[in-house]
A = this chain, B = another copy of it.
Amino acid sequence: MFTGIEELKTIQNNLTSWVHYTPVLTSSAFDEAAGCRGYFKCENFQRMGAFKMRGAMNAVLSLTEEERSRGVITHSSGNFAQAVALSARSLNIPATVIMPRNAPIIKRQAVAGYGARIIECDPTIEARVAVTEEESRRTGAVILHPSDQKEVIEGNSSACLELLQEFPSIQMVITPVGGGGLLAGTALAAKAVNPEITVFAGEPAGADDAYRSLKAGKIIPSVNPITIADGLRTQLGDSNFPIIHKLVKKIIRVEEDEIVSAMRFIWERMKIIIEPSAAVAPAAILKSPRLFKGKKVGIILSGGNVDLDNLPF
């Protein structure tokens, strides 16, 4: 039904020259606080600072020669914009990123630094989509979606594959969920490797459309999400929802103060920098001690791109 292990391994192999094999860290301080054994897959150490590199790179690698010549385009003000820019540059493909006029200058600089062309638009989702589609029609550039695209999801699965190959005794895995691309990719990998592995996600209570979608059995639109976890202010899509619906056991909602507290815990005790979105998964574990008690839990730390001038502590 879903992508099988052989296909996922092939994708993982194709990616090895283009993405980092990231380290897995453990922390006795976390284990003591959580009552389980955490295996932290450090995608904050990934190229451009987030797991998004895996999905973007796989999408770009999957293009035909003819498509490559037309280039790629996406609309994003976050990590996926950087991931597309860097992936495209790696293969010498032109990339265009549609960014809202009010995007932080630091994000614009990062995308421009990777060589992508930036087109400004009004700061609404409608404007972003409209400009992207118009530009794609005009130039023939292939549209890449941050989370709701088969190649992106399958590329993302390689992080969990690496983790389980290194630590095959892991019993549970957990990721944050926003657009659903990381969660779907992780679920695909975990279940393909071992159907006994339980898959969880953490989600901000202020942006809990995935939680509600899973309850309802259909996609519930995300309306006015409010959370510090800026990467998770998006919603599930048609490609990843069926995977998540079928393979994910539970979505755990966390409050804003729990996200900040978990982020600070990881910074202080593990000495690594994670962004608020990445703190959502450990926050979910810390608030659910009975669920994870005594288990070996793989945790995908999704990214580490923060603005040091605007920290929540």
Contact = CB atoms under 8 A, between A and B. Distances in A.
A242 interface: no
Contacts of A313: 308-309
Given A23-B23, A309-B313, A304 B49 contact: no
Contacts of A25: 23, 45
B44 A308 contact: no
Interface in A201-259: none
Interface string A269-313: 011111000000000000000000000000000001000110101
Nearest to A273: B271
A145 interface: no
Among A42, A49, A271, residue most surrounded by chain B Cβ atoms (within 10 Å) = A271
A196 interface: no
Stoichiometry, as copies per complex, reads 2
A188 to B, nearest CB: 26
Contacts of A267: 273, 308
A304 B273 contact: no
Given A272-B273, A273-B273, A264 B308 contact: yes
Nearest to A268: B308
B308 A271 contact: no
A90 to B, nearest CB: 12
Nearest to A46: B271
A25 B20 CA distance: 12
Nearest to A106: B268
A168 to B, nearest CB: 21
Nearest to A49: B271
Interface in A74-126: none
Nearest to A270: B45
Interface of A: 23, 25, 42, 44-45, 49, 264, 267-268, 270-274, 304, 308-309, 311, 313
Given A23-B23, A271-B272, A308-B313, 8 more contacts: A23-B25, A25-B45, A42-B271, A45-B270, A45-B271, A272-B272, A308-B311, A309-B313
